[in-house]
Structure 1
Amino acid sequence: MSPNNPTTASNPNGLSQRPLPPDQISPKAVVLKVMQLKNVARRNWKLLVIFLAIGAGIGFIYDLMNKKPAVYSADILFNLGGGGGASGGLGELGALAGAFGIGQGTPDANIFVGDNFLIYAKSRPVLEKTLMKNDTINGKDTMLVNYYIRHSGIRDKEWEKSDTLRSFYFSRIKKPSEYTKLEQIAMSDICTRIATEMSVTQPERKSSFMELRCAMEDEMLAATFLTSHLETIEEDYRQKQTKKSREMYDLLKDRADSIARVMNRTDSRLAQYIDQNQQIVVAQGKVTETKLQRNSSFLSTLYYQALQSADNMRLSMIREAPLFTIIKGVYYPLYKDVPSTLGVQAGIALALVLAVIVIFLRETYRSVMQEK
């Protein structure tokens, strides 16, 4: 066999050895590659460490400049039970209304049913009623809207570029009709922000339970706002749900008061007439006395009937009033969600990629120079 034949080679034992196929790698080649990589790492480890340190430092500075505050989540699970005035209560209203010539109409759509309630609970009028309340926070009587301005982060985000709004506070509790232009702008921004921080959901479609949840940057703010907002919803719900009954009750109360005034005047006239005519024997005088007694007795009957109707209406209002049952309230400590910082990780990853590229170019240049 010719020694110049490229397809064969002789080993020390005189045996021919075939070369490996192109798609296979010998263990010797693997070991050599590993030794080369080890040598490359030994020559360039300082460069790699410098790149990683620079990348981690840049990422750390980025995290500090873009650090996001922790968010505290609070939730309340409750059941909204409707009053009993939808059927029986309206029948009693109709019976009482008949005495005053008032007809019974078709009830309006209920805004507290289904998806209507989900929209209603986040609406601006209800949010304003909650914010315009005094609450005891950290032992101090504080307007909730001013506490929100101080601790929600709105001054550092939405109002960052407005010096006027950054120093703004509400002076006292007001109705929306009393707001100044600046107060209207501030309240609009606050309600818009709260609408993104709060949610009202129904955990199970087949259940009547509702869940009110909010996530804010201050633990006390999140818990206090959520509790106060549920109280506001209950109060507003109660007023709207019993509006007709309250109007009827006020009407019956006014009627009873007017009858009482007329009855008192009649009783006074009767007593005065009896005092002045104790010895009267004329029939005409007896007729007048009998007439006054009859009027007094009739007015007394009407008065007690009016009082009974008012009491019945008050019981009807109690039956119609909604029942809010809190299944799970707010418990401390609230769940704290700390936003993850990815600047250091991203800086290290980018630095590693750049270091590998630089080392590759450096080793390539070194290899070329050695060949020359």
Structure 2
Amino acid sequence: MSSTNLTTTDSNGMANQPLPPDQISPKSVVVRIMKLKDVFRRNWKLLLILVAIGGISGFIYDITHKKQPVYTATMTFNLGGGGSSNSFGDLGSLASAFGLGQGASDANIFAGDNFMIYAQSRPVVEKTLMKTVKINGRDTLLINYYIRHSGIRDEEWEKSDTLRAFYFPRAKLPEEYTKLERVAMSQIYTRIKSEMTVSQPERKSSFMELRCGMQDEMLAANFIENHLNTIEQDYRQKQTKKTREMYELLTSRADSIARVLTGTENKLAQYMDQNQQVVVAQGQINQTKLTRNSTFLSTIYYQAVQSADNMRLSLIREAPLFTIIEPVELPLYKEIITPIGMQAGIALGLILALIIIFLRETYRSVMNEG
């Protein structure tokens, strides 16, 4: 059997060395380009039609799913203060006398990233939404303004006539919600949680940033401002809970001592008025006893009042301090979401056309060889 000669000759009869299998000759490149030109010539109408169909479909999608602009409100603040001590100093002796111990445990229940989770928690968000705010000169419940202007009616509630017509008649506590109000609040909170973020711009700083992006400028600005107020009020209430309870107890006991002291002083005054000329020893003993009781109660009362005042100062000292670094400034940053349906449709149409052309040409090649 004779071996196959792989050597080629040119037009002058000179032998050419065969090309290695991993190289392509310029002639083969030209041949392939000519073939692609023929393929395009046979299928350009199909390519144009599928790309046009994809582009038109994407354009229709963009028209029917037009995105509203998003207004972003940002507020930077610093959370400081809130330090508590293990001892109340001058309160020690009185607290021991009342059986309250020498001090109170640390009331700081928030630390680190816990604050970020707390600021976005549902109870705090609900308190903000149930506030009455003045927008465009009118008092309105913030949650009802959110329902009307956030876009939730046209997106999440588009297929529910009941929810589209829903609103809260008044501010309510969570335990007062009806079944429909619980459903509505749950969906509203889910949407707000995706619109709002609490972050720390710089890990080395103590600054915090509260940000939200909503479809209405006044809604975004008012929500951020009122939400920070809610966080501050709720945070202060929880941060100073134990100290506030002790302050209320000391105030109550001071009032009780004051009532007893007033009664003793009245009895002493009446006894002295009725017995001005009495020289009997028994009468003098009674007067001395009432005087001693009045003096003792006066001393205890003044100590209780001073301790209550010191406790009130401690309450102020332990309260956290929210300092606004950058308030919300109008007009807000407006982000217009560019629709990409048409571009995506053209790309999908092009890919589909290439697949169909490949299958057609493959089938044509097989049939020709057959």
Shorter-normalised TM-score: what interval?
Answer: 0.7 to 0.9
Aligned to 1:155: 153
- 2:19 is aligned to none
Q: Match for residue 273 of structure 1?
A: 271
Alignment coverage as a number of residue pairs:
338
Which residue identity lines up with residue 81 of structure 1 in the other structure? G
Match of 2:198 in 1: 200
Aligned Cα RMSD in Å?
3.6
Q: In the aligned structure 2, how far is the partner of 1:206 from the partner of 1:95? A: 41
Q: Secondary structure at the match of 2:205?
A: coil
Question: C-alpha distance in 2, partners of 1:104/1:154?
Answer: 54
- Tell me which residue corresponds to 2:62: 63
- Between stretches 48-57 and 220-229, larger displacement belongs to 48-57
Inter-CA distance 189–330: structure 2 relative to 1 (3 Å threshold)? same
For residues 191 and 295 of structure 1, what CA distance do their matches in structure 2 show?
61
The one-letter code matched in structure 2 to 1:214 is C
- 8 A Cα contact 2:91 2:310, kept in partner: no
**1:121 Cα deviation (Å)?**
0.9
Q: 1:333 aligns with which of 325, 328, 331?
A: 331
1-side partners of 2:105 and 2:311: how far apart?
A: 18
Cα deviation, residue 277, structure 1: 1.7
Say which of 179, 185, 188 aligns to 1:181: 179
Kindly indicate whether the alpha-carbon contact (under 8 Å) linking 1:51 and 1:352 is maintained by their aligned counterparts in 2. yes
Tell me: CA distance 1:143–1:303, structure 2 relative to 1, closer, same or farther (3 Å).
Answer: same
Alignment of 1:99 with 2:58, yes or no, is no
1:357–1:310 distance in 2 versus 1, CA, 3 Å: closer
Cα displacement (A) at 1:290:
1.9
8 Å CA contact 2:69, 2:337 repeated in 1: yes
With over 3 angstroms needed to count, the CA separation of the structure-2 counterparts of 1:290 and 1:215, relative to structure 1, is same
Identity of aligned residues (%): 67
**Which residue is 1:252 aligned to?**
250
Summarize the alignment of residues 337-348 of structure 1 with structure 2, pairs less than 5 Å apart.
337-347=335-345
- Equivalent position amino acid for 1:326 in 2: I
**Is there any run of 5+ residues in structure 2 with no aligned partner, and where?**
1-8, 13-23, 357-370
* 8 Å CA contact retained: 1:111, 1:117: no
Greater shift, 140-149 or 291-300, is seen at 291-300
Q: What residue is the counterpart of 2:295 in the other structure? A: 297
Alignment of 1:84-95 (within 5 A): 84-87=83-86
Give how far 1:60 is off.
3.0
Normalising by the residue count of structure 1, what TM-score does the alignment of the two structures yield?
A: 0.78
Select between 228-237 and 74-83 the one with higher mean Cα deviation: 74-83
Residue segments in structure 1 that go unaligned for 5+ positions in a row = 1-5, 10-21, 359-372
Cα displacement (A) at 1:230: 0.9
The alpha carbon displacement at 1:71 in A equals: 1.2
Q: Distance in 2 between matches of 1:88 and 1:181?
A: 48
Is 1:82 matched up with 2:81? Answer: yes
- Displacement, 1:88? 5.2
